[in-house]
Amino acid sequence: MQPLGRMLHRYNIGDKAVIKIDSSIHGGMPHTRYQGKVGVVAEQRGRAYIVEMEEGGKTRRLIIRPEHLVPYYDQGGE
């Protein structure tokens, strides 16, 4: 069972999120190749979010439920 904070977190358009797949929930799960990637929330569609990310010189639009997303906090250092 995952923490409630991950499911209840509200993402605004333009927020960054890390894709962290929870294998116990199959609905709204992205492909495993996107595990650990950072994307930008573009819009909300029902309970899921549209996350855009650059991969291979193309923009990918993924439909992901919030159970598979974690807020991205920039550390500010290099």
Q: Kindly list the structural domains of the chain, giving each domain's residue range(s) and its CATH number in brackets, ordered by start.
A: 4-71 (2.30.30.70)
DSSP string, the chain: ---HHHHHPPPPTT-EEEE---TT--TTPPPGGGTT-EEEEEEEETTEEEEEEEETTEEEEEEE-GGGEEE-------
How does pLDDT run across 21-68, given as a tens digit for each residue? 988 889 889 999 999 999 999 999 999 999 999 999 999 999 999 999
Residue 4 pLDDT class (50, 70, 90 cuts): confident
pTM for the predicted model, two decimal places: 0.86
6 has pLDDT over 90: no
- Which pLDDT belongs to residue 75? 67
